[in-house]
Chain A
Amino acid sequence: MTRKQRRLTMIGGALVVLGIAVALVLNALRDSIVFFSTPQMVAEKHIPAGKRFRLGGLVEPGSLKRGDHMMVTFKIADGSNALSVAYKGILPDLFREGQGVVAEGSLDGAGVFKADTVLAKHDETYMPKDVADALKKQGHWKDDYEKAGKKPDTGAKPMQGASR
């Protein structure tokens, strides 16, 4: 086999593998990514029931109710809209009312967000970046969050999750 033939074989093999990889990536990007929304975006966009997405905002104070068999319901709010969330399982250690939170799941027929994963931020003075950015865009950004967000010590494991 000459050098040229060898090189052609190698390039051909590489192209085949790369082609397969590109196909896999495109396919996976179509099916498996999850979008992020705030309650306001949900209200505007009309997301179909059953489509998975991430919902972020602040846990509305006074909305947390614990039911039987570790069912919990609470509301996620972003200042203009609020959406009811139902979750079964153990909430993360730092889940608090009034704190930033990101839930992953889908809407049911009645418009309640059925979450199977809840992520809360560890530090008291910080909220998840998704939430902070979304609130900032809507103009509900408070200066003290801004300052708090710049503290260098927001901790190494900012997000903590619970998942069923």
Chain B
Amino acid sequence: MIAEAGHYALVLALALALIQSTVPMIGARLRDPVLMNVARSTALAQLLFVGLSFGALVLLHVLSDFSVANVYENSHSLKPLIYKITGVWGNHEGSMLLWVSILALFGGLVAMFGNNLPLSLRANALGVQGWVSTAFYLFILLTSNPFLRLANPPLEGRDLNPVLQDPGLAVHPPMLYLGYVGFSISFSFAIAALIEGRIDAAWARWVRPWTLMAWMFLTLGIAMGSYWAYYELGWGGWWFWDPVENASLMPWLAGTALLHSAVVMEKRNALKVWTVLLAILTFSLSLLGTFLVRSGVLTSVHAFATDPTRGVFILLILCVFIGGSLSLYAWRASSLKQGGLFAPISREGALVLNNLLLTTACATVFIGTLYPLGLEVLTGERISVGAPFFNLTFAPLFLPLLLALPFGPLLAWKRGDLIGAAQRLYAAGIVALVSVAVLWAWVRGGSAFAPLAIGLALFVILGALTDIAERSMLFRMPLSISLRRARGLPRASWGTMFAHVGVGVALIGIVCETTWNTELISTLKPGDVAKVAGYELKLDNISQRQGPNFGEMLAHFTVSEDGKVIGTMTPSKRSFTTRAMSTTEAALMSRGVSQLYISLGDTAASGAIAVRIYHKPMVLLIWFGPVLMAFGGLLSLSDRRLRVGAPKPAKAARGLQPAE
């Protein structure tokens, strides 16, 4: 009954999406406010029904109704409640349902908070949103229905893949989807602008918060996935340049570029055509990411589905939306009016450079991800493109970007003073150079690369702080006045600072972890001691334990430093009976921002156990950086001028409002 209701609600949502994708757009053509307002009610109703449908699937998983194929294949009655719920999106069908639910959520938010938008813009944007929804509802209903019943309901389910039974994975897909799908809003607005042939600063002010929100979630989602891979897969890696990881990195890079070009458009009314193109590309890359992950076209660390009919369907969606939007762009972009002028050395110029480098870096990731697929289709030859490729292409493009980053905020709009900006960055530059020298002397004989990269990271961090210090006249005014000025700065400035500092912090973590990481692989018997990076790890004993749906072998380690005991670590190996699979649960101990990491291997007949022990210096900074970036985004989002729904395009409103 619940399954049928869920299925029915999904069909109703499809019907509503069909109305939403046609009626309001016809209304916008005919300038009929009644028809245009249909967009609002259908978007809200669609959210209601898809929400009901998603709720039904969650309920089925919670009740362990194994007569539903999806529940049977991915759940088990003994599974803890939290994983029964998160198991809903731990599989293909459920995660697609989550995808459309989030799409409907964003549509609903635009409908709810878009009252001050020009009516026709809202109608067109929600109409485009309706097209996307329609395509994905059809995809789910025709190829991946999560509500299918089994003719002979089994008594017990097949359990969720054990590596997915983890709190990290509970949060990672929803975050990632909020990011991916959030970019659909900027896409819909871009298409709506092209349809109307009109675009202005108010448009950018509207699109920017949505982009920012999507970007924040995507940043956190990627960081979360990376941390999950780090502790769950048991070999201490946090980024593999795996195609599925690249699939989320590409929209992030394009989205970051979009975020910056939208600033230019909002402040200076320039780069309009480019911003629209970026909005289209960003969402296209999100769709591409969905295709790569969902179609099973890649064998990679996360590809789920293996059914080719799904792949073809998503490929079709991909071609229609990307091809259609780019054709519309080619046809209509010339109708958008050109914006303000600026010199190459200016804030706009710096942001153009940022965009250029980010999109080029994105293109190299795109080539590295799709080249093996293309080659296989054309020649049948199979290759793998891994970290070495990206180190040789992506990294050299990111270096100039980071070097230029501190200059951007210090340049004035329209015409900037590069020498002035450089003078203000003297202090930051000198500190960075001194630290390069000190580090190089300290690591004596090591490669010069790591100290230089850390110097660059410090330059980025200090440069971001310099910008705030300059604006609050620190050291040039009494401290109390500076503090008051600092408090009075717009939150967006503080957001910029936090985000840029986050970039530097993440870079420090990445460089330290890859350069000075210590690894020890050995076999230990109870009583043996392993020494890693000045820590002594003693294997006390090995014990067994029974979990809810798994058996577990735990190894108890006592960790000491300089003869003093500082704690215990218990890595374990879980074996899940239902799937006859085992997972390695690594033990982590944080020392400041560095970590000790133990994971277990096989047990030999003699009772000795293979262990992998790592000391990972500064590793937590890798994820702390993205958190800072996202926090910067949040601060910026809370800025009064940007608050969702706050923009008041008084000047533009007159021109865009339909005659009533």
Question: Nearest Cβ in chain A — how far from B178, in angstroms?
Answer: 19
| Residue from the list A66, A122, A151, A163 in contact with B306, Cβ < 8 A | A151
In the docked arrangement, what's the CA distance between A134 and B341, Å?
57
- Which partner residue on chain B sits nearest A33 by CB separation? B383
The answer to whether B356 touches A17, judged by C-beta atoms less than 8 angstroms apart, is: yes
- Chain A contact residues, majority secondary structure: mixed
The answer to whether A94 touches B581, judged by C-beta atoms less than 8 angstroms apart, is: yes
With known contacts A90-B521, A162-B235, A29–B389 Cβ distance under 8 A: yes
Bitwise, A129-164 to B at CB < 8 A (1) or not (0) is: 110011000000000000001111111111111111
The answer to whether A32 touches B392, judged by C-beta atoms less than 8 angstroms apart, is: yes
Question: Nearest Cβ in chain B — how far from A144, in angstroms?
Answer: 15
The answer to whether B364 touches A90, judged by C-beta atoms less than 8 angstroms apart, is: no
Asked if A70 is at the interface (CB within 8 A of a chain B CB), the reply is yes
With known contacts A25-B364, A34-B386, A91-B601, A14–B302 Cβ distance under 8 A: no
The answer to whether A14 touches B356, judged by C-beta atoms less than 8 angstroms apart, is: yes
The answer to whether A156 touches B582, judged by C-beta atoms less than 8 angstroms apart, is: no
Asked if B381 is at the interface (CB within 8 A of a chain A CB), the reply is yes
| Stretch of B17-25, B157-165, B323-331 contacting A (4+ beta carbons < 8 Å) | B157-165
The answer to whether A1 touches B341, judged by C-beta atoms less than 8 angstroms apart, is: yes
Interface size for chain A: under 10, 10 to 19, 20 to 34, or 35 or more residues?
Answer: 35 or more
The answer to whether B161 touches A122, judged by C-beta atoms less than 8 angstroms apart, is: yes
In the docked arrangement, what's the CA distance between A10 and B338, Å?
15
In the docked arrangement, what's the CA distance between A24 and B158, Å?
47
| Residue from the list A21, A35, A93, A134 in contact with B360, Cβ < 8 A | A21
The answer to whether A157 touches B386, judged by C-beta atoms less than 8 angstroms apart, is: no
User: Residues of A contacting B300 with CB < 8 Å?
Assistant: 158-159
Asked if A44 is at the interface (CB within 8 A of a chain B CB), the reply is no
- Chain B contact residues, majority secondary structure: mixed
The answer to whether B521 touches A3, judged by C-beta atoms less than 8 angstroms apart, is: no
Question: Nearest Cβ in chain A — how far from B596, in angstroms?
Answer: 17
The answer to whether B161 touches A155, judged by C-beta atoms less than 8 angstroms apart, is: yes
The chain A residues found within 8 Å of chain B, CB to CB, are: 1, 3, 6, 9-10, 13-14, 17-18, 20-21, 24-25, 27-29, 31-36, 54, 66, 70, 89-91, 93-94, 104, 122-124, 128-130, 133-134, 149-164
The chain B residues found within 8 Å of chain A, CB to CB, are: 73-74, 90-93, 158, 161, 163-164, 233-235, 237, 299-307, 338, 341-344, 352-353, 356-357, 360, 363-364, 367-368, 371-372, 381-386, 388-389, 391-393, 396-397, 521-523, 573, 579-584, 601-602, 604, 610, 612
Q: List 25 A-B contacts (CB under 8 A).
A: A1-B343, A6-B344, A9-B344, A14-B356, A25-B393, A28-B388, A32-B388, A33-B385, A34-B385, A36-B383, A54-B384, A70-B610, A91-B602, A93-B583, A104-B384, A124-B579, A124-B581, A153-B74, A153-B158, A155-B161, A156-B163, A157-B301, A158-B300, A159-B299, A161-B233
Q: A24-B364, A34-B385 are in contact. List 14 more A-B contacts (CB 8 A).
A: A1-B344, A10-B352, A21-B363, A24-B396, A28-B388, A29-B371, A33-B372, A36-B382, A89-B521, A90-B610, A129-B299, A156-B91, A157-B164, A158-B300
